[in-house]
């Protein structure tokens, strides 16, 4: 993660997928803004004063992800991460790292780099290691 910013107006790009809201100029860098709620059809999309953009640097490419809000940024120890349980085969878990256990909360941990390089997103070239 590079930074967290308030959601600002974006410049729309013709013929781009619906989940790419557009681009913003971030200190001279053109940054695509992605809304995963639209991509994964997660219902009614509302932007309000809590909506923020998390700016990420993935594989040398800067992009923004729209989120409903950020309440905290935490670091997890390996002991706080549980494996992804075997779920029904119709649920795609390949982008999940695990489940984070913090006090009485469970957090779903997503490998955002793997998601962004996936065929489903096609936003980045595959990162070679």
How would you classify the pairing of strands 61-67 and 29-34? parallel
Domain count for the chain, please give it. Answer: 2
More confident residue, 71 or 4: 4
pLDDT recorded at residue 88:
53
How high is the pLDDT of residue 128?
35
| Residues spanned by the domain of 16 | 3-70
Q: Kindly state whether residues 85 and 103 are assigned to the same domain.
A: yes
Write the pLDDT tens digit of every residue in 41-96.
777 778 888 889 999 988 788 899 998 888 888 889 999 998 888 765 555 677 88
Q: Which of 1-5, 55-59, 67-71, 125-129 has the lowest mean pLDDT?
A: 125-129
Tell me the two tokens of residue 77: 């120890």
CATH code of the domain covering residue 121: 2.30.30
Burial class (CB in 10 A: 0-12, 13-18, 19+), 64: buried
Whether residue 78 sits in one domain with residue 94:
yes
CA dihedral 116, 124, 38, 54 (to 10 degrees): 70
Task: Supply the mean pLDDT for the chain.
Answer: 82
Query: CA-CA-CA-CA torsion for 83, 74, 57, 34, nearest 10 degrees?
Result: 80
In the predicted structure, residue 127 carries a pLDDT above the cut 50: no
1 pLDDT exceeds 70? no
Q: In the predicted model, is pLDDT for residue 129 greater than 50?
A: no
């Amino acid at each position: 993660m590079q930074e967290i910013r308030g959601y600002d107006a974006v410049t729309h790009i013709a013929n781009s997928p619906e989940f790419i809201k557009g681009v913003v100029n971030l200190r001279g860098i053109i940054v695509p803004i992605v809304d995963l709620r639209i991509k994964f059809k997660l219902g009614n999309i509302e932007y309000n004063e809590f909506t923020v953009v998390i700016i990420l640097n993935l594989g040398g490419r800067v992009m923004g992800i729209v989120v409903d809000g950020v309440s905290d940024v935490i670091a997890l120890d390996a002991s706080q991460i549980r494996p992804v349980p075997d779920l029904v085969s119709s649920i795609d878990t390949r982008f999940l790292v695990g489940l984070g256990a913090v006090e009485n909360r469970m957090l779903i941990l997503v490998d955002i780099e793997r998601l962004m390089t996936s065929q489903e997103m096609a936003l980045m070239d595959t990162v070679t290691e």
